[in-house]
Amino acid sequence: MIRIETESDIERLRQVALIQQAENSRLHKRLLELAQELAVARGEDAILAIQQELAFLKEQLDARNRELFGASSEKRRRDKSGDGASNGTTSERTGHGRRDQPELPMVDVVHVLDEADQACPKCGGDLKTWDGHFEDAEEIDVVERSFRIVRHRRQKYTCSCGECIETALGPRKLIAGGRYSVDFAVSVAVAKYADHLPLARQVKQMARAGLIVDTQTLWDQIHALSAHREPTYEALWREVLGSEVVLADETQWPLLDKPGSSKWFAWSAASEKGVAYRIPKSRSTEAARTVLDGFSGILVTDGYAAYQTLRDVLVRERAGPIVLAHCWAHVRRKFHDAEPAWPQAATMLELIGKLYAVEAEVADLDGDGRRARLAELRRERSKPVVDEIRTWLMNQAVLPRSGLGKAVGYALTLWDGLVRFADDARIPIDTNLVERGMRPVAVGRKNHYGSKSERGTRVAALFYTLIESAKLAGVEPAGYLAEATRRAIDNPGTVTLPRDLASA
């Protein structure tokens, strides 16, 4: 994406786009002339080839214009009839209206009349309080975060014999002799890995609240916190990889202290049991093998070749088998991107939409009941749509290097994995679960630029795993981290999974 700094840059880019459009229009006209000549000389096949080349050039121009001036969204505009067309109107209602806030405490503030106003404007008599009658209105207020020093005074006890002195136990300490509480360390970790606040920004916020601290001190707290949570992190990995179906994805994660080695990758594996992350130094097949070590079952991914290579390697080694299933959302994106230049891609988008409509019918179900109903719907309704999609794909005559050609080739190359979901209700139709888990990683990378050291990558992977798995289990991350850490301090090595607190 081109960066636009000033209004003059915007105008310059517009002029460039206009010049490109004029030049392409000239070339289009010339190609049409050539098409007519070739039609006479070589027949209709030449016309088709030239028309495809012409459409490809127009696609490139339109893509450049969208890159410069278009919105970046996969959402398609639809009218109220839902047929995919837009009438240019918008709904009159905006916003979501008043939201209830059941989690907030309620504080009553009673407002009374000034003494001078407690007189009747009609007769001049004194007004009396009308007990139990108020006119109520609510407003949401804020209580600023504050810090305090808690002095723990451990009472000493002695015996009259003079031979015994006992001292009361103190609080659990994150670091032996340390000054900061478990709750303080948890708040720093959640602010960084859930709310994406770099430590330097947290230092500034704390200074405004009266606490003077530096980034090294904050790092020491979350590093100590991670040490107590290491057994649970590894247990979560085993929990996820022990699932029958696992979804996998990866994204770049910068490592800043090694020049020339900054492009590490955050890998994620997700199932109904949790979301887990590791950050190895590459995106290779060997990295995939390390991340998925010990897994055998159904792996749902995009079209990245490392997963297919890993499957083939395991087959040759006669190791635990991996069966690949592929993501329909990735297929849809490719046809969505091709649609502006190739209107026929709308047919594919509508067919994929029918697959998702089937999935939506069981969205409110769970457990075995959901799986049984989904298997029935996929057998009766999804499989015919899948057959229709394959027929449509096979009948497309397009340039392989065009947007539509690439989308068709992508779908056909992954076809065996794409259709696997229709025969197995355990398999999700896409990798959206693991991609949702990748969004916090991407936002965190943008805000604090990755990790400064290899040790930082391990800490980041641990906290993203614990926090995102807590969210998936419906457990509040800060409360989970604090309680689980206290258990680990009391009994080193204790494993507390999010679901252990979800059922408590």
Single-letter amino acid code for the residue at 249: D
Run of H or E residues at 152: none
pLDDT category at 45 given cuts 50, 70, 90 is low
State pLDDT tens for residues 269-326: 999 999 999 999 999 999 999 999 989 999 999 999 999 999 999 888 877 789 999 9
pLDDT of residue 346: 95
| Domain locations in the chain as residue ranges | 172-293+442-504
**DSSP states along 357-402:** HHHHTTTT--HHHHHHHHHHHIIIIIHHHHHHHHHHHHT----TTS
DSSP state of 182: H
Residue 214, both tokens: 């530096």
Assess contact for 458 and 266: CB atoms under 8 A. Answer: no
Q: Which residues of 462-483 are buried (b: 16+ CB within 10 A; e: fewer)?
A: bbbbbbbbbbbbebebbebbbb
pLDDT number for residue 4 = 46
| Secondary-structure percent of the chain, ordered helix, strand, coil, rounded to 5 | 50, 10, 40
Q: What is the pLDDT of residues 203-235, one digit of tens each?
A: 999 999 999 999 999 999 999 999 999 999 999
Band (408; pLDDT cuts 50, 70, 90)? very high
d(CA 497, CA 491) in angstroms, rounded, equals 15
* pLDDT at residue 244 tops 90: yes
Max avg pLDDT among 49-58, 111-120, 487-496: 487-496
pTM comes to 0.80
Greatest Cα pair distance in the chain: 120
Q: Tens digit of pLDDT for each residue in 353-383?
A: 999 999 999 989 888 899 999 999 999 999 9
Grade residue 169 by pLDDT with cuts at 50, 70 and 90.
confident
**Rounded distance between C-alpha atoms, residue 432 and residue 268, angstroms:** 12
